Each structure stands twice: as structure tokens, then as C-alpha cells.
Amino acid sequence: MGAVVGVDVGGTKVLAGAVAADGEVLRTARGTTPGRHTSPEAIEEALVDAVHAASGPEPVEAVGLAAAGFVSGGRVRFAPHLPWRDDDVAGRLARRLGVPVALDNDANCAAIAEATYGAGRDTPSFVLLTLGTGIGGAVVVDGRVWRGAQGMAGEFGHMRVVPDGIGCECGRRGCWEQYSSGNALIREARTRLGVEPTVLQELCDGDPTRLTGPMVTTAAQEGDLVARAAFSSVGHWLGVGLANVVAALDPALVVVGGGLAESGDRLLDPAREALARSLVAVDHRIVPPLRPAALGAAAGMVGAALLARGQSRR
């Protein structure tokens, strides 16, 4: 038997891992994605490298791919942060590696993992959000991911929350992910560089273009007021958008995953406050709890491996 590898590919990173049948992550490999202005072939090279690095000495038996994009009919129909457009990503990767490749949206994969091993394992119906470069989403109903008529349900990040607002990579303006995501966190912090005292100025050597999300997170942990204000803004908008999701779907639980969610209550506390303020009829209903994903940033990778093994109820 060889290695079953789950791969989570987003707008800036690739995370691959050999995952055992019980969900244990045996080995991981990390890389960067060339970005949406490169070619699909360049992304494919990054995926192949990550799969081989994660499999280690074992031959690859199967691969699950968690893709940050609109997935339908076995293809990535559209990826706002990657160059895939109606692309047979799984087919090309399967031919390249010579093994079966299972494909799903990255948030769906994260929801599968959290429903099986994580924060949603005792809650049959919940909503999951992934906050990274943008916002991904998934809806779990009675233990299964609900995909909608075309397989594209859960793309909450592109709900419009600000008419004629900030331009989005999808081509529209005012999308939720422009106000609550890793990109939003960096942009919010950059607007204060050179205006307010902050250690971020030193961390990025005075060059705002070099500022990264991990720098903002580190500064917030050290008490930097600018970094903390950026988290408060992103958390506020997270709660505002969630009020729309909760009003529409009435979930028992909201699980928040992705790299940004690893900041924990620094993000979730302002989100909880904004959700309670923004939700309709809040005095006459139970506001669903917001929990961080138990598997953290590895959830998409683990869920993809479950798909590859055929273990998910899907």
C-alpha cells in the first residue's frame, strides 16, 4: 500500500500531507502557488512537487485535491485567486501522477474533515468558513456537504456586503472577502503604516508591499495597537457577513477555519459581537456559537485525503 496524499491549494500556498486512514497526518510538505497571473501548468508543477514531497519514501496511491475555486462536474470552473477557468485539474494531475485524483472545493474538504474528526463531529448540521487569501464556505446538512444544484454552494466570500465597494479578484466590487480575509488584514494594516506608531514599520523594513499576514499576527500577539485594530476590523466584518449567512441558513454552529482563524479569539471575539449586533431578531433566537476549526489549517488537506480514500459520506 502506498501513501494517500491530501493537497490543499489556495491563492498563496500549497499544503500537502500523507494522511492515514484514521486521519493522522504522517508527513507534510508546504509550498507557494505562483498566483493567478501565472499558467495552469505552473500550478500543476507546484502540486506535483508537493505530492512527491509529502509521500516521502512511499509510492503515491491516491491524491485528494482541495481547490480554492468553484468546483462542478469534476472541474474547476472558476478560481478567483488562481488561473483555472473551466479546467480539468484533476484529470491532468491524475495523468501526470498515474494515480486516481479526487477533486473538491477546499472549504468542502475542510468541512468533511471537521465533520469527521473536528469541531462539527457532534453537530449534524453546520456552516464552515475558511479565511485565507479570501473566504471559502461550506454547508453541512445531516452530516453531508450540501453542494447545491451545480455543486457550487457555499461561495459566501463573493456575497456583496458593500455596494460599489472594494474591487475583488472575481471582477465584482464589495465582496465579503475584501473586508474579512488575509488580504483584508494586510490591507487594513498597510493603511496605518506611517500614520500611527507600529512595530509593523520595522517588521516590513518600512516597505508596505513587504507586509505579510504573519507579520500582522506576530505584532498583534505582542500588543501592537495597529495590528490589533486590523484584526478587530476583519473580525467585525466577519460577524457582519455571518449575520446574512445565519439569517439564510439558521445553522446550529459556525466553524471558522483557514490560516487566519488560527489567531483564535482575537478574530472571533469581534466577530461574535458583530454577529449579535447584526443578526435579525437576535433577542428571539439562539445565536449559533462560533468555533475555530479543530484541525486548523490542515482541515482542507485532511478532508481531501478522506475523499481520495472514499471514506467521506460527501
Model confidence over 105-140: pLDDT tens digits? 999 999 999 999 999 999 999 999 999 889 999 999
The whole-number pLDDT of residue 311 equals 52
Residue 117 lies in a domain: no
- Residue 12 domain boundaries: 3-111+298-309
Rounded to whole angstroms, the Cα distance separating 30 from 298 reads 11
202-214 pLDDT tens trace: 999 989 999 999 9
The whole-number pLDDT of residue 4 equals 96
Residue 314 lies in a domain: no
The whole-number pLDDT of residue 36 equals 67
Residue 75 lies in a domain: yes
pTM beyond 0.75: the answer is yes
Within this chain, do residues 175 and 41 fall inside the same structural domain, yes or no?
Answer: no
Within this chain, do residues 95 and 158 fall inside the same structural domain, yes or no?
Answer: no
Within this chain, do residues 152 and 94 fall inside the same structural domain, yes or no?
Answer: no
Within this chain, do residues 203 and 276 fall inside the same structural domain, yes or no?
Answer: yes
The whole-number pLDDT of residue 60 equals 95
| Phi, psi of 87, rounded to the nearest 5 degrees | -110, 135
**What residues are paired with 160 via a beta bridge?**
175
% residues pLDDT > 90 (the chain)? 81
Within this chain, do residues 143 and 284 fall inside the same structural domain, yes or no?
Answer: yes
Within this chain, do residues 287 and 140 fall inside the same structural domain, yes or no?
Answer: yes
Domain count within the chain: 2
Within this chain, do residues 128 and 99 fall inside the same structural domain, yes or no?
Answer: no
CATH number of the domain encompassing residue 234: 3.30.420.40
Within this chain, do residues 128 and 271 fall inside the same structural domain, yes or no?
Answer: yes
Within this chain, do residues 138 and 99 fall inside the same structural domain, yes or no?
Answer: no
Rounded to whole angstroms, the Cα distance separating 276 from 284 reads 12
Please identify every stretch of the chain with a pLDDT value under 50, giving residue numbers as ranges.
312-314
Within this chain, do residues 105 and 131 fall inside the same structural domain, yes or no?
Answer: no
Within this chain, do residues 131 and 42 fall inside the same structural domain, yes or no?
Answer: no
C-alpha gyration radius of the chain: 19
